[in-house]
Amino acid sequence: MFSRIQFKENAKQLLRRYYWMAFAVCTIYVIIHGIGTSTITGKITVNFRGEIPIFWHGGFDLLHASWEILLFLFGSLFVLIFSLGLSIFLINPVTVGRNRYFMLSRTYRCDLGSLFSSFSSGRYLNIVKVMFFKALFVWLWSLLFVIPGIVKSYQYRMVPYLLAENPDMDWRRALEVSRAMTMGYKWDLFILDLSFFGWLFLGMMLCGVGVLFVQPYIQATDAEVYEFMRQKVFATGVCLRSELPGFYPRSDGTHL
């Protein structure tokens, strides 16, 4: 049974053992994610004065205005491409690494290296590809209307966890398994997210810094949810245990 209270209680019990390392992992992740977000939402000033001057020295200067507009368009395009590149090749793989850290930490003592495990797994390009298709499908559904996009974001929510456990998984299979995992539980996941609102609001009241202290709790709870959904797909025969073999340190003893 999907028990929001039980997932949170399990997370709190586990965090007593590794909270400060989890805090460090979440803080680094937020910083990396913030770099991409600030790039996407950053201001593009065309003439470095924050305006496009179509009037110049008291008169209309068509040639100058055209160059300014072209500069604005090319600048916007560059920022868009750069931010997408950051998201695809850096933020998405780090998201998978963060999820791997929290799943490993349920059993093992992990270090910060797990956050960057996607880059050393030997399956980096597959992780990039699968996460790209996940984001693409959510975006395409969002074009129809906001609500379908939100539904799809919950439907494919387990994809980063699946890749953290099995980085060889094909993108079609990853989406299929995530759909099976979340079937019948998307509303529960939504309510679970809402249940953290009070903590996040309190964190925002502390100049926003307090949000960082809540992140380990949120991520550890999500890890408990994933473990619950793993057992669901095993029980229903959607996945064999050989396809989702669990989370273990590498053969060299590292947790990457």
Per domain, the residue ranges of the chain are 4-236
Dihedral of the alpha carbons of 116, 243, 137, 189, in degrees to the nearest 10? -80
Q: Is the pLDDT of residue 127 over 60?
A: yes
Q: What is the pLDDT of residue 49?
A: 41
Over residues 185-209, the mean pLDDT reads 92
Q: Is the pLDDT of residue 251 over 60?
A: no
Residue whose pair of structure tokens reads 């408990």 in the numeric block: 224
Q: What is the pLDDT of residue 53?
A: 44
Question: Does 251 or 172 have the greater pLDDT score?
Answer: 172
Q: Is the pLDDT of residue 68 over 80?
A: no
Strand partners, 55: 60
Find the range with the poorest average confidence among 7-16, 86-95, 245-254. Answer: 245-254
Residue 207, judged by CB atoms within 10 A of its CB (0-12, 13-18, 19+), counts as: exposed
Q: What is the pTM of this model?
A: 0.87
Max Cα-Cα span within the chain: 75
Q: Is the pLDDT of residue 57 over 70?
A: no
Over residues 127-143, the mean pLDDT reads 97
DSSP string, 185-203: THHHHHHHHHTTHHHHHHH
- Give which of 121, 127, 128 is closest to 169, Cα–Cα: 127
Over residues 106-131, the mean pLDDT reads 96
Confidence of residue 63 (pLDDT cuts 50, 70, 90): low
Residues 6+ positions from 76 with CB-CB distance below 8 Å: 44
